């Protein structure tokens, strides 16, 4: 047997021993957001990230747009942020967080869990400050089967 034949046979053994790719890939997360809310120059939204049968809700508050040229710097605002969710009236949790808002977007996490397919998930995110009451934004989605 020649050296090339031995190397070829050895190479086939290495190929045969290579691991086979998994037939069950990890599910890709999908994100669905409700309509934006506008309040005192701020934009709010609530979203649901779904991976398989797991749902994670999150809320965000940020500037509604860039500051107007020549406008004075925005003063920090003390905000109370409330995120909650449920499935058919059963709570997925709630988060109540006080934050100081400057110019950076603030995200709130911590609500979610495993949800049966075909169920309707409801999420709500509210932002409140001394100057104005909360105007909650919502998201509703049915988990696909």
Radius of gyration of the chain measured on its C-alpha atoms: 25
The verdict on residue 87 lying in a domain is: yes
The verdict on residue 114 lying in a domain is: yes
Burial class from Cβ neighbours inside 10 Å (0-12, 13-18, 19+) for residue 115 reads buried
pLDDT beyond 60 at 16:
no
The verdict on residue 123 lying in a domain is: yes
Q: How many domains does the chain have?
A: 1
Quote the domain boundaries for residue 130: 25-66+74-142
Percent residues over pLDDT 70 in the chain:
83
The verdict on residue 46 lying in a domain is: yes
pLDDT beyond 60 at 112:
yes
Question: What CATH number should be reported for the domain holding residue 56?
Answer: 2.60.40.10
Q: What does pTM read for this prediction?
A: 0.78
The verdict on residue 9 lying in a domain is: no
With the C-alpha atoms ordered 105, 110, 114, 119, is the resulting torsion angle positive or negative?
negative
The verdict on residue 34 lying in a domain is: yes
Which helix (H) or strand (E) segment is 9 a member of? helix 3-17
């Amino acid at each position: 047997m020649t050296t090339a034949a031995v190397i070829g046979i050895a190479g086939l053994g290495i190929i045969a021993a290579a691991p086979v790719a998994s037939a069950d890939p990890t599910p890709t997360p999908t994100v669905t957001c409700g309509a934006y809310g506008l309040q005192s120059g701020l934009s709010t939204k609530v979203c649901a990230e779904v991976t398989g049968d797991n749902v994670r809700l999150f809320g965000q508050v940020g500037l509604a747009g860039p500051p107007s040229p020549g406008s004075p710097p925005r003063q920090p605002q003390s905000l109370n942020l409330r995120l909650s969710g449920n499935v058919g009236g059963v709570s997925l949790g709630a988060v109540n967080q006080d934050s100081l808002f400057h110019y950076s977007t603030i995200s709130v996490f911590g609500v979610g869990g495993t949800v049966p397919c075909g169920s309707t998930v409801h999420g709500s995110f509210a932002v409140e400050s001394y100057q104005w009451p909360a105007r909650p934004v919502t998201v509703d989605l049915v988990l696909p089967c």
